[in-house]
Structure 1
Amino acid sequence: MVAAEALARNVDSPALRELAGCSALDDARDIRALHLDAMAELGLSMPEADRVLWEKARQWARRMVDETVRPHEGALRIDRYSVVLESPNGLAEFTYLLDLWGEYPALRKELEISMVEEARRLLRLSDNAA
């Protein structure tokens, strides 16, 4: 999704185009490799690229807390950043909640509440780090 958004803003590279075509079914290691290749092709350093991905994750968390996006949708978006960032603390929890979402449909309401709580926690951690 991030790659497609970048292409829409006229940021382009061969690896970025390939990355834009990836889906949640693609191997996380392949996605990470394409991400690294795209950053190198665009002349971006990894710390800067990682900072941007964390900021995007925080934006989705804010949308979840503000109720402008459904918790499941926000968690899916954050999970994509988690994959590229190799599941760091603070984002990996969304992957776990999404796994539960798929396995236990009867618990989805409770899981949505947990997703929003995780989003709040992520925002608190971000505020404390700033």
Structure 2
Amino acid sequence: MDLLRRAAVKLALGEQPTEDLPMIAALAVADGLDSQSLIELAGLSRRDPPADIRDLFMQTMAELGLSVPGVEEAWRERMLEAAEGMLSGSLTHYEASSEIYWCACHLDRTDTANELVNLFMGLWSNWEDWPDGRASIERDMRVAAADLLHSQGKPLPE
């Protein structure tokens, strides 16, 4: 997930400080992204009015053709990012399973979401409760993370 998309996901979840958006925009410009509003956003100060910063961020995303997710979509993206993190090794099995469980708890209460909550809560809990069985539990976590990505049409990380 690129820098701006990650900021948009965090913004949807109420976790992105608005005053950090100008610096994120500056980093995006440094990475080679270019649009009029992105450059304007990068030039704002942390002390500019939060509503102005947020509005310019939304305009920037639209100019760049990047969508800003709703809350449900943001939780789902964060959950899939955790599954990818487990399989790529950027997150531990324990961290990723906990994150997937937490994100699934915030999804609309469907049978699929309930199954995810139960599956990853069980794996996460078993990992804590049975230290001698962690190797087997971690294999089950990897299988569950791969199945989750597959069910969402996402490729497995290399």
Q: Which bracket does the TM-score occupy, shorter chain normalised?
A: 0.5 to 0.7
Deviations 1:15-42 (A, max 9, x none): xxxxxxxxxxxxxxxxxxxxxxxxxxxx
Offset of 1:82 from its aligned partner? 2.1
Offset of 1:84 from its aligned partner? 2.2
Cα distance in structure 2, aligned partners of 1:53 and 1:115: 19
Match of 1:59 among 61, 81, 84: 81
SS of the residue 2:115 aligns to: coil
The one-letter amino acid paired with 2:93 is P
TM-score computed with the length of structure 2 as normaliser = 0.50
Offset of 1:8 from its aligned partner? 4.2
Query: Which structure: larger Rg?
Result: 2
SS of the residue 2:153 aligns to: helix
Equivalent residue number for residue 77 of structure 1: 99
Equivalent residue number for residue 20 of structure 1: none
Task: Name the stretch that deviates more: 87-96 or 53-62.
Answer: 87-96
1:111-130 maps to which residues of 2 (within 5 A)? 111-127=137-153
1:1-130 maps to which residues of 2 (within 5 A)? 6-10=14-18, 48-85=70-107, 87-127=113-153
Cα distance in structure 1, aligned partners of 2:80 and 2:87: 10
Cα distance in structure 1, aligned partners of 2:85 and 2:73: 19
Structure 1: which 5+ runs fail to align?
A: 12-46
TM-score computed with the length of structure 1 as normaliser = 0.59
Relative contact order, higher structure (CA 8 A, sep 6+)? 1
Partners of 1:82 and 1:92 within 8 A in 2: no
Cα distance in structure 2, aligned partners of 1:122 and 1:9: 30
Cα distance in structure 2, aligned partners of 1:127 and 1:92: 22
Cα distance in structure 2, aligned partners of 1:89 and 1:75: 14
Structure 2: which 5+ runs fail to align?
A: 1-9, 20-68
Offset of 1:91 from its aligned partner? 4.3
User: What is the count of residue pairs matched by the alignment?
Assistant: 91
SS of the residue 1:127 aligns to: coil
**Runs (4+) off by over 6 Å:** none
Partners of 2:127 and 2:134 within 8 A in 1: yes
Identical positions, percent: 19
